[in-house]
Structures are given as structure tokens and as C-alpha cells.
Structure 1
Amino acid sequence: MQLNLIQNTLFLACLGLLGGLALGCRPADRAAVSQESKVTDWRTLLTDDSGELVQEVWEIHTVRGAKVGHRHTRVFDCQSDSQNGQRIEAMDVLETKRFGEVVEQQLKTVSWEANEGQLLGFAYELRSGETVIAAGGLVEEMLWSPQNGGPFAIERSLRMQPMEPGESRVVEGFVPVLNRIVQWRLFAKEIESVKIDGQALDLLKIIVTDAMPSEWSLPTLLWADGEGQVLRTHEGLLDRITVRSTKQGAMGLNDLARLDLGLDVGVPLANPSFNPHECHQAIYRIRLQGINPVDVFASGPSQQVAPSSNPADGTLLTVQQITPESMLRSSEEILLPTAEDTRPNALIQSDDRQVRAIADAVADSIEDPFQASVALEQYLFRQLAKKNFSHVFASAAEVAKSREGDCSEHAVLLAATCRARGIPARVIIGLVYSVPEGGFLYHMWNEVWIEDRWIPLDATLGRGGIGAAHLKIRESNLAEESAYELVAPVLFLTDRLEIEIVDCQPPAQ
């Protein structure tokens, strides 16, 4: 087993949602890792294979019963001046389909640990197509609590001290990609007979939860042997299972025919008698298992959530088109743009040369901010015609160069080009109705600030605005918030959300 949050890195990346899932996480309260002073050292962790190989494990990844990849874990005993302790490295490889296109991802995670289990350094590298993201660091002396482990803190804890039925413990570990200390609570249940690679084994069932759970938390189930080795892991999201196997089994062909992560995480529309894209207002009835829809869907001028006293009746969600001429309700609180809605950042590089060249070429002569935004929206709709679903979340500068991508790439580049023209812009995460699928799929679009309101635009559609087919969950300027923190709710809605359309009003002729 490897930390479930790191597993989510790959699965969300396959959905096109790269970033950092922070469910139940708390930020490190002290400077724990140096990522600048010894850059060459942490990069060496990714390529070093020195030391004595003391353990090698192969595992299979499945989603909803379909084999989608494998994990190869190696543990090295390193007793040298440069690297004293153990080096644990895991390579996760996923191969899935997303909207019919094969997506291949690799995540290599390396943890350098003292013999007693303290984290000394880490590194990770995520590869998706031509995109490579790598980071790492070394622990600074006296700045790291000994109780904080690394990426394999749970595995290390169980190996050093196997649990007994009825026992509970708290484990803390540093999670790469999130760059946070995460705290888990482990509770050992009963011994169960579990089939591992065709053989029935008596294993201890362990429930892992966030120590500070939220409404978004789902437990992870582990099954460990008497030596504390985790042989099977089950994640509730998408029914994900990682199970011990042989090298031959792990390296076997993946089942690409049974699963499409782009389409299979959609939410069917119960009665698709209307096309909400053609409506200026629509009313939906939402039913969501285990979570109040009021806590999930955003409320504001473009969308209102009406709480229900009886969950069985569902929650009414009213979505309406917003234009510069729309009448706004005086009672609706509108959040004004912040400085971060206009500044460049790591994903929205509005100061990039190619980004600015696009903004100037398309909108330099257009004085009206809304018309300039629409011109950029429609230009990107035409120019980013190739929807490449094999990439992870690319930045605006990368998209300006490649001129390809899916909804997230359209959104970051539209935000960047609008900001380059001095127009505040942010990205929106939610669901959009897909006519071919007859249901709602994950989507990212934009809002731009025009005079006194945020107006939605969608460069993936290029319609000069949107109708009532976009269900907004969250917004972000992507300045600091991790993309996983932004998109995590989308996976939690899978298999738990029901949507029914109650009314759909076409625009007045």
C-alpha cells in the first residue's frame, strides 16, 4: 500500500485534474523541508539505485473491477556516508481511457528514511505524455518532528509494530504532491479470509480515516498480515483496489475496454427532455447521498440552492444565464475581484510572452471588456481545436505554446489572456450537461469581472457565454489553492449524485 492521497494524484490526473487533494489535511506549521538548498541531492533520489535490495513488491490497481495498472515497490538498505538508512521507492503506472483516448501516467515516489522511521528526504516525479512534474526536499535538522513520517508512514508503522484486533493508533506523514503533513487514524477490526492472487489468507482488516474528517471523507480499508504487510487496499472512490500480485500478474495487459474515466464518472440526467444549454434558466432537483447539496453547490447570482427540510424530496438548484444586461437580485452578495484575480501565477501566466501575444492580437483594439473577453473565448475555441485528453493539468503558458488541451487547458488560457488585457478572471469547477451522453460530466470554465458582476464564459464551447447547463461547485484564481483541493468534490459526487430537471425556460424571442 502507498498513501491513498498519493494514489488520488494519478486517478485525478487521468481525469485531467492535476493538483493536490487535501481532505482532512492540515498545513505544516513549520518550515519542514528545504527544496532550494540541495536541489541536486533530492533529484539524486529519483535515479539512485545503490544499497542492498531487501524487499520487492508487485501490486495490481483495479477500478470498478477493471485492471488499470500496477505498482512496483522496492526497499533498499543504504549504509553509506551519503545515504544512511532505508530508501523506499514506489512506481505507480496507470493506463486508462478518458473520452476514448488512452491515458498513460507514471508516478515515482521515493522516501529516504532513518532506520527508526524518521523522514530524511523525499522526491516524486509525475509523468503524463510529454509533461513531467518533479519535486522533492531534504529535512532540515531540528525543524521536523520525529513523529512525522514520510510518504510510506502507514506502511512503516504497521511493519514496525503490527496491529491487533481492537487496537487504534494515529499516524502522521508527509505527502508529496500535497506538500503537507497528513494525520490518519487507524482502527484494527477483525481477522478476515481474503483471496490474494488466488490464495485464501487470514488478514487483519484495518480502517483508515482522516483524523480530522470532513463531509468529504471516505475511509480506506486495508488488509494486513501478521507481519504488518498490507496485501490489499480498497478505496471507496470509484471502487479502487490495490492488491498484492506477482510481477507477471502486475505487468499483464490492462483492461481498457471496460472503463472510461471521462465518461464513467458522469451523472445521468433522469429526464433529459430539455437541452439546458438552450435555456436561460433551469431548475434541477438534486439528491446527494450522505452530503447536503447546500454544502456542495455554490450559491450566487448565476445559481441558487434552496435547502429542503426533507432530503427525500431533493434540493432545488436554480441556474440562470448571466449577461452584462441581466437583472441581479439586490439580496445576492457578490464577491468583488481580489488582486489575485488579476495577477499572473504558476498556472495562469498572464505575463508570459506567448500569452500576451494572443491577448494583444485578438483583443488589443477592443475597448469593451466584455466584448474583448468574448473575442478571446471564441478565438481559443477555434484555435485549441485538438482536445488532447492524455495530458495532465497544463499551465496557460504551456497551452499557449502547444495550442491543445481539454477544458482545463481552455480555462487557464482564457483566464490568462483576459488578465493580460486587465480583465479580472478566475476558473470554475463543476459539472456540465453533455448532450451525447445524456448526463453531466466534470468541467472547468471561467468567470470574468465586468463592471459589477462575474459573467461566465466557456472557451470549450465558444458560445459567447453559457446557458443553464453548467452546475457550479467552486471557483478559484489558482494563486495558492491546489487544483486537487478545487476538484476533489467531483470524485466524491460519483455514484452518489442524482440530477433531475424540473423546468427549463428558453430565452425570450
Structure 2
Amino acid sequence: MRSLLIATIFFFAISPLQSQERPIPFPAKNNKDTSKSETLWDAAYWKDESGQFHKFGHVQTQLEHVVRDGKEIIRATRVYDLKMTRGRAVFTLDDKQITEESEGKLVRMEYTSSLSRIQKELTALPKGYLISTKTPTENYEDKIGDFPLVGFATELQILKEPRQLEDKFDYYYFEPTLNAAVKVLGKIAGKDRFKSPEGAILEWQRIDLQGAKIGGILPPSASIWVDPKTREIKQTMMEIPGIGYATLVRTTGDQAKAANGKLPDIQANTDIPLSQRVNQIHSLPQMSYRITLEFPIAPGDLLKPSHLHTIVQRQDNLSFELTVKALREPPKNAVKAEPAPPEYLNSCHYITSNDAEVIKLSNTASRGQVNNWDKAQAMESWLNKNFRFVSTKVMDTAAQVANDPNGLSGDCTEVAMLLAAMCRAQGIPSRTAIGVIYADNPKPHFAFHMWTEIYIQGTWLGLDATLGRGSVGPGHIKVTDASWEGERGQTPLMPVMQFIGKHPKIEVLKN
């Protein structure tokens, strides 16, 4: 489950362990196997729209026993080498994670993120776990509850245990992209037939896996096939927004490291095509759409309620009509409004409004402005002119962006977080909105997007430093929003992942 879920949100790598260890023989699987370690190789493939599979990398897992302070530890090292594109940029998920277990319980995990320059260490406490994190701009610690977390080695054993049809089981693992424990529910689903390269018909047992809801959203499900005789895992398949259907196939080291084929473009694979262009959509007062889904789901479970949305449910439960209205300025002659909750003013991990450089930028960008709306618009415009848009960063914090010696750069997520932080530094309540935006280069489509919302006179108004238009129009379809308070992972992105994962079709109706 974790092998592919990690690719849906974030990309992590890990530094080597620093402790002193000495290897001892790996437990024999049979009378002949007395090796000290076991290495498993998986070739990674993705499935395009035509149904063709293309290799885009491999995963290596090594299991071994070590002794530390007289205690036997099972250590599993998993190394990812997955290549993808994002527009014209090619990047590698070169994640390396190490889990250490004692008596079937996770006692330690180390990893780093090469893209976001984050280092983490998970350590077992008498009750619960301590998560220590280092970034270029801050160090912090979090704690999670006393979950029965398992590492890679125990997870493999759980999946390989003999079971009967319809049997159910569950386990917990730590998901670094979410900074949280995730419960996985498993079910024995029967047997499927496969054809070997030699033409033989193979019958493997399928195990269906479903992670429990995260932030109220179900993550993508996965299926694993095992040989019913040897109980060896043969392949794993999971649908990943941005990649499509990804499959790990157990193979030899040479085959796993063979040349890759066509690489998945995570940007193109998440775009929602439109059949027509809409001229000047971001300047229009409103726009109506028909959204059609592959599977029935209530609009309220898909889109967070918004004062700018009007939804009409259709009878088939597979489609609904959505009208999005533009709000260009604060309400006039508004009655005294309730103040925004503190979470929209507090500095937090991603929206680091107390950072000295963020404060400096906010003062520079809003200089000469008096009221909050004028300040916010000025900061949006300033960022649009002074921010360099690149696709090589992944969810850097506002402080990381502001303190980058190479200048302000990133994509929509970085500039939205930075604008929110600059607004909070000026005492303006803010949050980020997450959804999709209309674009027509080269063809009309909706694409994943993040922008900023500020609270003025009891109303939330949108600003988008990516466009720099001074307001947000009906070309933005909002799925959710987040203050990011107390958030170290990517849980707030789950609703838009669900939206895109439902493979919606969007039809423009009228303005």
C-alpha cells in the first residue's frame, strides 16, 4: 500500500543510519536458505489512456537482521527510483526509507525529502511516537498516538500470510507524506489468471487494500497478487492521480533496472479537458458548469460548501450543475462582522508569517497602502511581478521560499502559501483555497491549482498571485480550503486528489 501511496502526494529520501550495528544471519525461510539478507526487486509501470504499460522506474527492498544493544532488530531498506515529468521538467523520486522493528513493532524510521530538503526521524516512546523534523528554516517535534505501527518487514509478512476467501485483516503504518499513522484494511478477494512471458497460465490470489479515511477522504485503493503456493508477492497495482494505474511487478535486479520507457506526465494526467474555449473567463461575473463523474457521489462530499457556489443535483447522481460567482471586492456598508478564528492569523509550519524575511517582503509589497484590501491586492500584484514560476519545487514553506538565496520561486502552491503568510504578517486573516483552474494553453482544460483567500468584513475573498488580477473569477473551481494550522503533512490536499481521482468531465454551460 505504502509503496505507491507515497507517490501520490510527496517525494521523500533518507539519510543513512548512524548507529553501530553488526549483521546476524537472516532467519532461514527453509532448510536451504541461510542468507544474511534478502533483496527484492520490483519494476514500476504506468498505464496510459490506450491501455499500454510503460516502465518508469524500479523499487528495491532489502531485509536484514541487526543487533543493537543486545536487542535483535529487523531492518528494512526501501529505495525508490521512479522518473516522471511535470510539463517539460523531468524529476526522480529517489526516496530511501529505513524502518526498524523489534518483536513486530516499529521502533525507528528515518527519511529525508530531497525535493523539499526535510529530514525526519520517527522514534518509539513508551507510549506513542516522537517525530523529529529538520528543515532549512526550522526544527520541530511532533507526537502521534500509541498506534501498533509496523515496518516494511512485518507488512510483507502480513500480506503473505495464508488466508481464506473473504478473510479480512488490518494494520497500521506511518505515512511520511501525511505525517500520520494510516490504517490499512485488507480483504482476500479471490484468484485472477495471468499469462507468463513463456505463455503459461498462472493463477494468483488477489488481496484488496483500502486505507482508512484521511481528513474525511478515502485514499486510492490498491490490489496485491500473491502466488497461492509460495505466498510470494508477484505484483501490486494502485491508481495514482497524476500517473494513472501504476503497477509494481516482482522481478530480477537486472530486469528492474532495465531502461525506462515513456514517462508519465503528472501535470497532463491531472488536467481535465474541455471541449470549448471560454474567452476572458477570469473577467466574467459568473459561469455555470455541468460536472459528470464516473461514480456517484454527493456534491457536498466532493466540494466544500462556498458562498460563491450554487449547486443543482441531477437525478442520476452522476452529474450536477455548478454555478461559480466572482467576488471582486469586499461588501460595501457591511455590518460589523465576527473576527476570523485565530488559526487564520497564527504563523504555522507552511504559512510562516512570523519569519523575518516574510515580514520584510510583506512590508515592501504593501508599502503606501492603508486598508487591508488594498494591502492584500498590492502584495498579490508585487508577487506576480517578482516571483519566478518553476515546476521543480514541491510544497516548500513560505519561509523556505522567502529565504531562498536564488530568489523567490516555485509554483502555485509556493506563491499561494507565501501570499497567505505575507497577509498574516500584516494582520490580515488568510488561508489557501485548493481546486482547479481554467487554462487554454495549448488546449482548454482545468488543472490543479492553489490560490489565496483573505477575510475582510466577514467575507472571504480570493486572490491569485499566479495571475495577479486583483481578484478571483469563475475560472477557479474551489474544492476545499485550509488554514494549515498544526499541519506538517499534506492532508489538506486529499479532497482535490479525490476530485481529480473521480475522473470528472466538465462541460461549460453558460455565463
TM-score (norm 1): 0.83
* CA deviation after TM superposition for structure 1 residue 153, in Å: 4.3
Residues 384-403 of structure 1 mapped to structure 2, 5 A cutoff:
384-385=387-388, 387-402=389-404, 403=408
Secondary structure of 1:305's match?
strand
- Kept in 1, the 8 Å contact 2:282–2:475? The answer is yes
Alignment match, 1:285? 290
Alignment counterpart, residue 42 of structure 2, candidates 45, 59, 68: 59
Q: Which amino acid counterpart does residue 465 of structure 1 have in structure 2?
A: S
Residues 290-439 of structure 1 mapped to structure 2, 5 A cutoff:
290=295, 291-311=297-317, 314-325=319-330, 337-385=340-388, 387-402=389-404, 403-436=408-441, 437-439=443-445
Alignment match, 2:31? none
Q: Which amino acid counterpart does residue 346 of structure 1 have in structure 2?
A: H
* CA deviation after TM superposition for structure 1 residue 157, in Å: 1.3
- Kept in 2, the 8 Å contact 1:163–1:228? The answer is no
What is the distance in 2 between the residues matched to 1:90 and 1:199? 32
> Percent same amino acid at aligned positions?
23
Is residue 12 of structure 1 aligned with residue 9 of structure 2?
Answer: yes
Gaps of 5+ in 2: 25-35, 48-52, 130-145
What is the distance in 2 between the residues matched to 1:46 and 1:209? 35
- Kept in 2, the 8 Å contact 1:223–1:230? The answer is yes
* CA deviation after TM superposition for structure 1 residue 66, in Å: 2.7
* CA deviation after TM superposition for structure 1 residue 70, in Å: 1.5
- Kept in 1, the 8 Å contact 2:480–2:496? The answer is no
Counterparts in 2 of 1:483 and 1:268: CA distance versus 1, 3 Å: farther
Counterparts in 2 of 1:351 and 1:284: CA distance versus 1, 3 Å: same
What is the distance in 1 between the residues matched to 2:21 and 2:285? 60
Alignment counterpart, residue 102 of structure 1, candidates 90, 97, 100: 90
Q: Which amino acid counterpart does residue 363 of structure 1 have in structure 2?
A: S
What is the distance in 1 between the residues matched to 2:364 and 2:434? 28
- Kept in 2, the 8 Å contact 1:108–1:126? The answer is no
* CA deviation after TM superposition for structure 1 residue 374, in Å: 1.0
Alignment match, 2:119? 134
Q: Which amino acid counterpart does residue 9 of structure 2 have in structure 1?
A: L
What is the distance in 1 between the residues matched to 2:301 and 2:351? 28
Counterparts in 2 of 1:423 and 1:327: CA distance versus 1, 3 Å: closer
Alignment match, 1:31? none
- Kept in 2, the 8 Å contact 1:266–1:494? The answer is no
Alignment match, 1:503? 510
Q: Which amino acid counterpart does residue 208 of structure 1 have in structure 2?
A: L
What is the distance in 2 between the residues matched to 1:192 and 1:249? 24
Deviations 1:340-390 (A, max 9, x none): 1111111111111111111111213211211111111111111112x2212
- Give the CA RMSD over aligned residues: 2.9
What is the distance in 2 between the residues matched to 1:381 and 1:369? 18
Alignment match, 1:205? 206
Alignment match, 2:496? 490
What is the distance in 2 between the residues matched to 1:329 and 1:410? 30
Secondary structure of 1:393's match?
coil
What is the distance in 2 between the residues matched to 1:46 and 1:304? 56
What is the distance in 2 between the residues matched to 1:133 and 1:198? 45
Deviations 1:426-467 (A, max 9, x none): 111100011113110000000011222111000111111122
Alignment match, 2:446? 440
What is the distance in 2 between the residues matched to 1:164 and 1:329? 65
- Kept in 2, the 8 Å contact 1:158–1:229? The answer is no
Deviations 1:44-103 (A, max 9, x none): 637878525411011122222232221111011113426522101101122111022112
Gaps of 5+ in 1: 19-41, 505-509
Alignment match, 2:459? 453
What is the distance in 2 between the residues matched to 1:122 and 1:90? 11
Alignment counterpart, residue 118 of structure 1, candidates 78, 95, 105: 105
Alignment counterpart, residue 482 of structure 2, candidates 476, 479, 483: 476
Secondary structure of 1:264's match?
helix
Deviations 1:221-258 (A, max 9, x none): 10012343322111133211111122222223333x45
Alignment counterpart, residue 45 of structure 1, candidates 5, 14, 17: 17
What is the distance in 1 between the residues matched to 2:303 and 2:448? 13
